[in-house]
Structure 1
């Protein structure tokens, strides 16, 4: 049940920035909590001069970008707590370091300390609000805490550690009550339960069958598929199939629209080029006719004459035989581009989303196949009544 919190550390006006930093860092480095600083790691700063290096980045930012405002945030603290008895302090510190690195993308200096003074092991991470190079600050967006918890969940699932109670379990409990009242809204409880079972297996990691499975399907993949399904509200394999199929139809429809417009644009551009070529080569072709179609003149002006003939051939294909004005063609071409842009952007976006859904679908199919294989193995291993009777004879 790795719980996470993101806490901004504000500058208290009655104290200096250095004092505020020192107070926070001294607290998380307390030797009584970290077993004489046995479980302390840093990135982008020396353990003996953390405050000074934080302040140096801050000074570069203030000199080159802007001065701090009234409610200035000097650093951020991450708290990450683990289920009692589930992790060692060494491993917890490694995960805390990895969490901080992933969350800050390696742009901010930080210190990670692991406290062992409570019944549950927990990490404290303090990272500088200003980037190491002093060119930018961390932006604490509305969903930053959510993003932090998702990164932490992913790391925990990859390492067979518990996470906060799954939203699927909450759905099962919530809709289970509604089902008792005869109002199930058509939800597939077995599918929801199946996804919770996956998470439990990931936590336990026990059994020979599981070990064989793990060799083919690693923890990272399983963590990704579970989180993907949760984040996209997919509660069953059938829902996932329906979603990918509907995306296929939408992609095909958009693709057809884009292709049709592309063809119109190609025809339009061909006609534009033909009008321009016809105009440029008109004098040469007129002179060629006046020469009585002289072979000598043709040899000297073959390129222009061929371009003129090619343009005339394109005009002959026009359904009404009327050559449109060049400015009208250019306007139409621009309109086709504008009409195509949103459809093409949506097409690319859906293609990328579909790829992610198909990966999740394939991974879920592997999970389902493993579940079925385990059931068959258990059924074969369990002796039937007739076999027990024969054995007793």
Structure 2
């Protein structure tokens, strides 16, 4: 169960855009809330340079499209809170990442942080109001908050989490308890109605008729799905879902591998910038004969220079790469990841449809086997006919 909210972050006149963004990002990245930033993930940007990359996209938009207007929205925040005890921080962060990706369609850079400081685990997502390429802005359409909630509910169902029933549904149940209404249960894959169980609970003839019609509709949906996808047997359906799982895992590994390369790339970029900025100070330090006094006066710059050199030794074998080449590679990795992630999201959705069909088919087969057993029991055998003749 996840409660979601979409918040527009406006530019405050008394502060710069950079200050407004930094304030929001620093809050969601608070190490006390994210367990030393253990549960932080990003898309289209690096956690260490997110502010600069947000501003760069914004500057590109202002230079090529139009200047900002009054009460400009500089970013958007998504808050997603989960039911206590129902989810782990790792899973919550993954769901928050996928929610942001689906909502922004992969066009906007964002950061996802999962806070564990309260009794309920919750996500904060900050995504740039300007697209990554700086050519467009996010359109906050009517009922966008409702659309966000629907996406969140879909993700909860896909991950076997409960969803929140609307207040309208609660009022209808209170006003008319005798009226049967169908709600989404905690399990996203069980759609067939257990008629006998409901009849034992005191449901009337009308419910029985409705439930039988509902089951027939579900059977029709399953058969139509199998026909549309060219599946002739249950075994073939199982084979297909297992194959999809393998393909999704392989695609996910490709995306993770690129993300790791992007992280190393960004680390090298930052190291190059730091190394260049502190080179003069470190040269003077060497000329001073590694003077302790000089070290004490410029310790921050000298340590930063040495740390940058360690990064070169660890990541690039001691070689200092060219910043231009790293930036070009980083852009290529982002461009390669975007279609793969969109395909990953699409395959996850298709997999859910196949799993729904598989579960319903299993229920139908179980029901059919039960009916056949009842027919065998009801069929008179030879001994019963002999006793009847006597």
Q: TM-score, normalised by structure 2?
A: 0.50
Q: Does 1:143 align with 2:129?
A: no
Structure 2 match to 1:5: 5
Structure 2 match to 1:103: 103
Structure 2 match to 1:50: 50
Unaligned runs of 5+ in 2: 192-209, 218-352, 378-390
Structure 2 match to 1:173: 173
Superposed CA deviations along residues 177-225 of structure 1, whole A, max 9, x for unmatched, are: 5x5xxxxxxx5x1xx2xx33x62333xx8xxxx8xx9xxxxxxxxxxxx
Cα pair distance change 1:89/1:58, threshold 3 Å: same
Contact 2:160–2:186 (CA under 8 A) maintained in structure 1: no
Q: What is the CA-CA distance between 1:370 and the residue it aligns to?
A: 2.2
Q: What is the CA-CA distance between 1:176 and the residue it aligns to?
A: 1.9
Distance in 2 (alpha carbons) for counterparts of 1:115 and 1:85: 14
Cα pair distance change 1:135/1:31, threshold 3 Å: same
Q: What is the CA-CA distance between 1:164 and the residue it aligns to?
A: 1.0
Contact 2:5–2:80 (CA under 8 A) maintained in structure 1: yes
Contact 2:157–2:186 (CA under 8 A) maintained in structure 1: no
Contact 1:237–1:364 (CA under 8 A) maintained in structure 2: no
Distance in 2 (alpha carbons) for counterparts of 1:64 and 1:138: 16
Q: What is the CA-CA distance between 1:150 and the residue it aligns to?
A: 0.8
Distance in 2 (alpha carbons) for counterparts of 1:40 and 1:93: 7
SS in 2 for 1:90: helix
Contact 2:163–2:186 (CA under 8 A) maintained in structure 1: no
Structure 2 match to 1:19: 19
Q: What is the CA-CA distance between 1:46 and the residue it aligns to?
A: 1.0
Structure 2 match to 1:199: 185
SS in 1 for 2:24: helix
Distance in 1 (alpha carbons) for counterparts of 2:34 and 2:212: 46
CA RMSD of aligned residues (A): 3.8
Contact 1:7–1:76 (CA under 8 A) maintained in structure 2: yes
Q: Does 1:370 align with 2:363?
A: yes
SS in 2 for 1:22: helix
Contact 2:57–2:132 (CA under 8 A) maintained in structure 1: yes
Q: What is the CA-CA distance between 1:152 and the residue it aligns to?
A: 0.8
Contact 1:7–1:78 (CA under 8 A) maintained in structure 2: yes
SS in 2 for 1:156: helix
Structure 1 match to 2:249: none
Distance in 2 (alpha carbons) for counterparts of 1:41 and 1:25: 13
Cα pair distance change 1:52/1:94, threshold 3 Å: same
Distance in 2 (alpha carbons) for counterparts of 1:109 and 1:43: 5
Superposed CA deviations along residues 124-165 of structure 1, whole A, max 9, x for unmatched, are: 000000000000000001121111111111111000011112
Distance in 1 (alpha carbons) for counterparts of 2:155 and 2:100: 11
Q: What is the CA-CA distance between 1:368 and the residue it aligns to?
A: 9.3
* Aligned residue pairs, count: 222
Structure 1 match to 2:133: 133
* Higher Cα Rg, which structure: 1
Counterparts of 1:236-255 in structure 2, within 5 Å, are 238=213
Unaligned runs of 5+ in 1: 180-186, 214-234, 243-359, 385-393
Contact 1:76–1:129 (CA under 8 A) maintained in structure 2: yes
Distance in 1 (alpha carbons) for counterparts of 2:362 and 2:171: 25
Distance in 1 (alpha carbons) for counterparts of 2:362 and 2:45: 48
Superposed CA deviations along residues 312-370 of structure 1, whole A, max 9, x for unmatched, are: xxxxxxxxxxxxxxxxxxxxxxxxxxxxxxxxxxxxxxxxxxxxxxxx9xx79974982
SS in 2 for 1:201: coil
Q: What is the CA-CA distance between 1:373 and the residue it aligns to?
A: 3.9
Distance in 1 (alpha carbons) for counterparts of 2:109 and 2:12: 21
Contact 2:161–2:187 (CA under 8 A) maintained in structure 1: no
Distance in 2 (alpha carbons) for counterparts of 1:132 and 1:2: 28
Q: What is the CA-CA distance between 1:374 and the residue it aligns to?
A: 5.9
Distance in 2 (alpha carbons) for counterparts of 1:238 and 1:49: 58
Q: Does 1:33 align with 2:19?
A: no
Larger mean Cα displacement after TM superposition, 142-151 or 17-26: 142-151
Distance in 2 (alpha carbons) for counterparts of 1:33 and 1:110: 18
Q: What is the CA-CA distance between 1:174 and the residue it aligns to?
A: 4.1
